[in-house]
Amino acid sequence: MNKDFEILKKLIYEINDIEHAAAVLNWDQEAFMPEKGISDRVNQISTLSKIAHEKFTTDKMGDLIEKIKEKIKKVNPESDEARLIKVLDRNYKKSVKVPSELVTEMSKAASLGQQNWAIAKRNSDFSAFVPYLKKLIELRKQYAKIFTPYDHIYDPLLDDFEPGLKTADVKEIFKKLKPSQAELLNKIAEKQKIDNSFLFGVYNKKKQRSFGADVITKLGYDWSRGRQDTTEHPFTTNFGIDDVRITTKIDKNYLPTGLFGSIHEAGHAIYEQGIAKELARTPLAEGASLAIHESQSRLWENLVGRSLAFWKYFYPKLQNIFPENLDGVSLEKFYKGINKVAPTMIRVEADEATYNMHIMVRFELETALVEETVNVKDLPEIWNLKMKEYFGITPVNDAQGVLQDIHWSMGAIGYFTTYALGNLISAQLWECINRDIRDLNSQIEKGNFDTLLHWLRNKIYMHGSKYEPQELVEKVTGTTINPAPYIRYLKAKYSDIYSL
């Protein structure tokens, strides 16, 4: 087996290098590339995507996987080698069904989609984006149909981000979650409104960025293995375990955008930087799934970053940086302000009590698009109706409505669900963390995040994608993804803030 395994590793290392080279080009496209560079960039990325796909789907690769599968049965099924073969076998069986021409076409459509989405959003003109989104949806449906039979056409798309999860599973989770969140929101609506006007105003961008960098450094982001840049829609990308980069968007007129965006993306990056070195250059050297990834970004952003304990340490420093904005604003007022519950047009600025409702809107629209019960051209109108139904508000333009997110322009249909699932997982983990680290709040109040980071690295990060998401959640918490801890968390937090 050793000889075959070494040949296999050499092949997957090459594929990994090609994929990360494409990731560098994608990162540059979002962060630095001039607008007219799109034509060349589309060709470059699609060529690399095609090469990686063709290298992975050769008969030689399939034969090696099958040969090693038979020999590895005697090896510990929890070992890196056994898990690598399991993941490769799964990925190969999916990838070999997809024609390289379709891979190339999807890559081109995604590059063009992102570029034209940015222009359409800037001009708040959805009609300019319609032909690109139509193409992306058609390609994703074409891709999904390769994997028939399925229970729902959305299943193969969801499976790309959440291995093993079905559309029916998500619907069942949301069915349990929605009434509890709606009930909480109704109770909060009856209470006196919280003043968060101090979060608006003129906040120097350079100072915001400096403070945000200090915060994520304290949390554990390793700058020798990463960097931060600004983009229209923040994201995290990696070109290997030792090169994990984040981006942020800073709004000079609203403090939370840059601050919590930085913590959110750092949460993703700290996860990637914590993967065991032994898994480098293999498919195991990435997050277990998008929901597990989001559980980390949301855990650091919300359960840590929006906690009272966190601001007992950081608020005096923030006040000192922005005295003209925060003089006279007490710690309690600031804490309540950053946790104010109110319907908002923009998902990334939504509070914890309403955030999942944004995801439910997108989930309903995504499934309708691939079911062909909604036409792309009608999305703005339907989007606005959904926002009115869920939040009682209507977007004033396309930029604040249907064009606000980058995901559809990337062809990432099936992605949005992972944000809500990540919230649920974060609360499940948080209950376990507080059980194991009894003085966690006290540590956070002192600006000490080492014990928390150590727990997460050992329980989650180091494993990369050795385990499927439901498997990993159950290993750590004792149950699969469960809404109950998140509901408990929200009720406890907002009962205190709003005296429910």
Which residue is catalytic, options 30, 265, 272, 366? 265
236/15 Cα distance (integer angstroms):
21
Max CA distance (Å), the chain: 70
332/405 Cα distance (integer angstroms):
32
For tokens 């597990």, the residue is: 292
Number of H helices, E strands in the chain: 21, 3
Question: What is the Cα gyration radius of the chain?
Answer: 23
215/234 Cα distance (integer angstroms):
17
8 Å CB contact between 215 and 259: yes
Residue 333 structure tokens: 């007022």
Residue 162 burial (CB count, 10 A): 25
Q: How far is CA 7 from CA 11, 14, 20, 389, in A?
A: 6, 11, 20, 56
**Range 442-447, long-range pairs (CB < 8 A, 24+ positions):** 442/309, 444/304, 444/307, 444/309, 444/310, 444/313, 445/309, 445/312, 445/313, 446/313, 447/218, 447/313, 447/314
Listed residue (454, 418, 412, 421) closest to 436, CA to CA: 454
For tokens 């003085």, the residue is: 439
466/85 Cα distance (integer angstroms):
10
**Neighbouring C-alpha atoms within 13 Å toward the C-beta of 288:** 24
Indicate the pairing of strand 228-230 with strand 236-238. unpaired
Indicate the pairing of strand 236-238 with strand 244-248. antiparallel
220/442 Cα distance (integer angstroms):
18
Burial class (CB in 10 A: 0-12, 13-18, 19+), 36: exposed
Task: Identify whether 286 is a catalytic site residue.
Answer: no
DSSP 145-174: HTT-S-SSTTHHHHHHHSTT--HHHHHHHH
**Which residues are known catalytic residues?**
265
